[in-house]
């Protein structure tokens, strides 16, 4: 039975990936900081899908946590989902530098190291997949968050081109606003976001899996956000920035 490891696996997009991959017959390794919540999530998945579920409590913002997950990935995973991430409620000049460094550790260093840990085994087995969860914000300018997600997109495309193996899929997933705990945890006021702009996590994951099967390097779920990104690339960057500021945190 193939194995999938998912970071940030207890809520939102990570939990949706866990459900989808369990339904597809994968054994799971779930990574999150909250051990109690990991155990509850694992029990639900075992009961519903009858798959093996391993839990690995780890904080990817710490060296020890990252090393622990890195070691487990090297032991062998067939599908890696780098989903762990978070946002800041304040603008760039309002955020302490240690929090910015923590974001780069989770969004960039963890994605780099876990992807690098997974690929040798995937190449030796002649199969595998890596999905790095980025954001539509990667195509706009919104402080360290969007900059880190832009790095995830570029990194994923670059690695996919270097690996150059149709049996090993590497893709960046760039969702828009998704109904998860993300904004609440970051203490962001999203009351100004229109209801039609929100996506469901399960829909995002299902479209991501379709795009992965098609060999896409970047997945932007839902036509609404495909249009947002397309228009954002056509209009002057300052105009796109103003629109992003209007739709972003208040």
Tokens at 114, concatenated? 């876990």
Token pair for 99: 């929090």
Per the structure, the count of domains in the chain is 1
CB 203 within 8 A of CB 222: yes
Mean pLDDT of the chain: 90
Longest dimension (CA), the chain: 52
Residue pLDDT, tens place only, 159-171: 999 999 999 999 9
Instruction: Specify which residues 170 forms β-bridges with.
Output: 130
Residue 237, pLDDT score:
60
Range of the domain at 20: 3-247
Backbone phi and psi for residue 27, each to the nearest 5 degrees, phi listed first: -70, 150
Annotated catalytic residues are 145
Q: What is the pLDDT of residue 1?
A: 86
Q: Any bridge partners for residue 4, and if so which?
A: 28, 79
Residues 104-138 pLDDT 10s: 999 999 999 999 999 999 999 999 999 999 999 99
Q: Do 218 and 36 touch, CB atoms closer than 8 A? A: no
Does this model's pTM top 0.85? My answer is yes
DSSP 120-179: HHHHHHT-EEEEEE--GGGGS-BHHHHHHHHHHHHHHHHHHHHH--TTEEEEEE---SBS
Q: Can you give the CATH number for the domain in which 216 is found?
A: 3.40.50.720
Q: Both tokens of residue 176?
A: 């828009």
Q: Is the pLDDT of residue 199 over 50?
A: yes
């Amino acid at each position: 039975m193939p194995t999938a490891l998912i970071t940030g696996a207890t809520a939102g997009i990570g939990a949706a990936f866990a459900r989808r991959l369990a339904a597809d017959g994968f054994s799971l390794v779930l990574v999150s900081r909250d051990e109690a919540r990991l155990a509850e999530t694992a029990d639900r998945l075992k009961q519903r899908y009858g798959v093996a579920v391993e839990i690995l409590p780890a904080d990817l913002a710490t060296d020890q946590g990252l090393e622990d997950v890195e070691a487990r990935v090297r032991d062998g995973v067939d599908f890696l989902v780098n989903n762990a991430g978070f946002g800041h409620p304040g603008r760039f000049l309002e955020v302490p530098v240690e929090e910015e460094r923590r974001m780069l550790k989770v969004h960039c260093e963890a994605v780099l190291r876990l992807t690098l840990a997974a690929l040798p085994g995937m190449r030796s087995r002649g199969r595998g997949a890596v999905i790095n969860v980025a954001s539509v914000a990667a195509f706009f300018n919104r402080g360290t968050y969007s900059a880190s997600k832009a790095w995830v997109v570029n990194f994923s495309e670059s690695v996919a081109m270097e690996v150059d193996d149709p049996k090993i899929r590497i893709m960046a997933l760039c969702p828009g606003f998704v109904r998860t705990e993300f904004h609440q945890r970051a203490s962001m006021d999203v009351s100004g976001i229109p209801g039609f702009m929100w996506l469901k996590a399960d829909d995002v994951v299902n479209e991501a899996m379709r795009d992965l099967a098609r060999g896409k390097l970047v997945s932007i779920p839902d036509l609404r956000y495909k249009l947002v990104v397309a228009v954002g690339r056509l209009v002057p960057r300052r105009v796109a920035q103003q629109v992003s500021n209007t739709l972003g945190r208040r």
